[in-house]
Chains A and B, each alone.
Chain A
């Protein structure tokens, strides 16, 4: 009969009108600025660099400027310059560090491939999404000072993942220490044990002054 479908439709909208007042499955609006979104742990936005401590982020970056992420980044938004000198890393081993590490978040597509390919767990995905800026380069082209965030922050946003990473790193470190200890024992030379003992020491050298200089705009990535 003509009109049955129309009446059925009217009943559906009436049901939703009533339902939107009492049924949370129907009324799903979250009023954003007042009610912050509940982000799932897996949520990813833009990458950040993990540093071991909050008070000396530049000195404790896990990144060793191996440039794998720079090479693998599909939109090529990462720009890295290796340091000329070496600094001790978290384990005290002298390592090359990124003199310049810049990510152009206006180009980044949040694909997480940099995180997947990083062998050092040095780059992770952030959850900070309110990043609107009025300045294309000053606000969106992030240098390593802006990118560095402490491991504690990583634990805060991705607790499960961070715990796994820490456990893995600790295991690697123990293995390395074990290896170093064995090597030291084999050589029986007191000098060889130095890196292992340095790993326990909280003291660290100050970062090189060049590290504070903001990076220039990244050059075209392909020659």
Chain B
């Protein structure tokens, strides 16, 4: 994976697990001698906690998981092949439908890849607007994730409804800006399709100012709750070495104690101008993954605060930037950003025609899901459900 030099980012202590070339597999859990029969249960594809059409084939010894096979592809929509048959502009709305909670960041990553490929400069105002939209998207994603995770934990919908209440406010902003709540289709090559008005910015400012209070209340409900701590602490531990070797990114990697954040590492867009911190966990368990996201939201609020304050005027979209009939000269480019779920990247190969010859998505949900079995072995069914919840997958992105 495209990880930076380990020594430079404090990853030096990460090393390959001996005897296992990739370090991806933990030794299979052997059922104890004389144990009863094993029970194979198919969790999903229609299961309330698989977050879509995803299936976990688990083999149980009592309630303990002996083997787990993730089965996916139920939502495969040929996204990448479609991208090769569609113009550069035409693929933009399709990227909305990858991780359908975060169309804003998907758009940005794709726009970044095309801008790199065709050498299109981005206007100053658009860079700031992109940051605002991406961080709002991060708030939305993490809030919903916490709600879903607690729903998996067995809450009767309360945290989820609170999360959705706040998400609705962000979605209202997205809708009044882009015309659609979730399929925003906002980014264009060289800027954004729409220019936020002063009223929109004021409404965003109000939301950002009030979000901290919501997080306080949300955390009062959950973070200190003894049942939540008992359920999530020590469950689904992901060692830093395994995380790095498996290419895990995003909050899941940071929860395992690796301070890798593309906003700092790549410094894409105008992120280097903002003052924010990258929270990291220690144990890499479900609780850390939850808390790291909670802390990340606080940092997002700080970024939004600065971005809204410093938002420059000027054009939102370079009028010279070509959208329709874009024909980048032959070459390849990889554009990646720190999406709410991890590194979302688009790899494009151009042969000089109007469509890319190769269009590839590096979907964080998909890569993060690969360690599911390692996290679940030896835990119970109830744990498997919250481990899956803490990975934060969206099947639209996993299956593409």
Contacts and interface: CB of A to CB of B under 8 A. Distances in A.
Interface of A: 2-6, 8-9, 11-13, 15-16, 26, 28, 40-44, 68, 72-74, 109-113, 116-117, 125
A2 B168 contact: no
Contacts of A16: 158, 162
B192 to A, nearest CB: 12
A111 B93 contact: yes
B222 A72 contact: no
B175 A43 contact: yes
Interface in B234-278: none
A117 B217 CA distance: 46
B45 interface: no
B180 A9 contact: no
A74 B91 contact: yes
Contact of B179 (A13, A72, A112): A112
B220 A8 contact: yes
B291 to A, nearest CB: 14
A43 B179 contact: yes
Contact of A4 (B92, B158, B172, B224): B224
18 contacts: A5-B223, A5-B225, A5-B226, A6-B226, A9-B225, A12-B220, A16-B158, A16-B162, A26-B165, A41-B176, A42-B175, A42-B177, A74-B93, A109-B93, A110-B183, A112-B179, A116-B323, A117-B324
Contact of A72 (B168, B228, B324): B324
B357 interface: no
Given A42-B175, A116-B193, A116-B323, 9 more contacts: A4-B224, A6-B226, A42-B179, A43-B175, A68-B324, A74-B90, A111-B93, A112-B179, A116-B324
A170 to B, nearest CB: 21
B183 A111 contact: yes
B93 A113 contact: yes
Contact of A109 (B87, B183, B324): B183
Among B96, B179, B180, B228, chain A packs the most CB atoms within 10 A around the CB of B179
Contacts of A43: 175, 179-180
B39 interface: no
Most buried by A among B92, B172, B221: B221
B221 A74 contact: no
B175 A72 contact: no
B221 A72 contact: no
Contacts of A112: 179, 185
A9 B178 contact: no
A12 B223 CA distance: 12
B306 interface: no
Contacts of A74: 86-87, 90-91, 93-94
Given A5-B225, A13-B158, A74-B90, A42 B178 contact: yes
B194 interface: yes
B89 interface: yes
Contacts of B176: 40-42
A6 B185 CA distance: 42
Contacts of A73: 90
A117 B93 CA distance: 14
A164 B228 CA distance: 54
Nearest to B225: A5
B71 interface: no
B221 A8 contact: yes
A113 B90 contact: yes
Contacts of A116: 193, 323-324
Interface string B161-183: 01001001100100111111001
Contacts of B180: 43-44, 110
A13 B217 CA distance: 10
B227 interface: yes
CB-CB nearest 7 A-B residue pairs:
A111-B93, A40-B176, A5-B224, A44-B179, A74-B90, A42-B179, A5-B225
B17 interface: no
B229 interface: yes
A3 B185 CA distance: 47
A112 B93 CA distance: 9
Given A72-B324, A110-B180, A117-B324, A9 B90 contact: no
Given A28-B168, A111-B183, A112-B179, A72 B226 contact: no
Contacts of B169: 28
Given A4-B224, A6-B225, A44-B180, A72 B90 contact: yes
